[in-house]
């Protein structure tokens, strides 16, 4: 739990540009201490510095990607892909068949990344794009 302030700083930095663009996001770094306690969490560390994180909630036979963030100084280096692949590998061992997520409609780069990584759009509601991926 001593890493929570560093995780919060990483998540806040990752979403700063979107906030500066006026994208209305929920408090994405709020509750990380509870996420660590209640869900699956992986971090990416470079030179003793947290540069990325992913939070996955598992519910019976499916999972939900609750949050993923990569510090902007490390963007484009495959960290998000690596975090997702690590989570998927673990979910396979847990016999989870599907993972879903929701991202913001005003963040098309996220939709593109998830599509590239095998996710499919399953719907839209308000400001959310819902996506899913089978885990095989």
Domain total of the chain:
1
pLDDT of 24: 87
pLDDT for 60 equals 83
- CATH assignment at residue 57: 3.40.630.30
User: Could you tell me if 101 and 130 are in contact, meaning their C-beta atoms sit under 8 angstroms apart?
Assistant: yes
3-class SS at 32?
helix
Question: Computed over its alpha carbons, how large is the radius of gyration of the chain?
Answer: 14
b/e string for 58-81 if b means 16 or more Cβ within 10 A? eeeebbbbbbbbbbeebeeeebbe
Locate 86 and state its tokens: 């690590």
Domain limits for position 98: 4-134
Half-sphere exposure of 118 (CA within 13 A, CB side): 10
Percent of the chain residues topping a pLDDT of 90: 82
pTM here is: 0.92
Per-residue pLDDT at 61? 85
- pLDDT tens for 50-74 read 999 999 999 988 999 999 999 999 9
Q: Which residues contact 78 (CB under 8 A, 6 or more apart)?
A: none
The C-alpha atoms of residue 76 and residue 51 are separated, in whole angstroms, by 12
83 pLDDT higher than 70: yes
């Amino acid at each position: 739990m001593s890493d929570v302030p560093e995780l919060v700083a990483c998540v806040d930095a990752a979403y700063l540009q979107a906030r500066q663009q006026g994208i209305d996001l929920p408090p994405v770094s709020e509750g990380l201490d509870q996420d660590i306690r209640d869900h699956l969490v992986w971090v990416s560390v470079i030179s003793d510095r947290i540069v990325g994180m992913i939070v996955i909630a598992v519910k019976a036979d499916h999972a939900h990607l609750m949050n993923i963030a990569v510090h902007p100084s490390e963007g484009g280096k495959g960290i998000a892909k690596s975090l997702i692949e690590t989570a998927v590998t673990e979910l396979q061992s847990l016999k989870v068949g599907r993972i879903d997520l929701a991202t913001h409609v005003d963040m098309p780069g996220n939709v593109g990344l998830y599509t590239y990584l095998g996710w499919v759009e399953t719907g839209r509601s308000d400001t959310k794009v819902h996506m899913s991926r089978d885990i095989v």
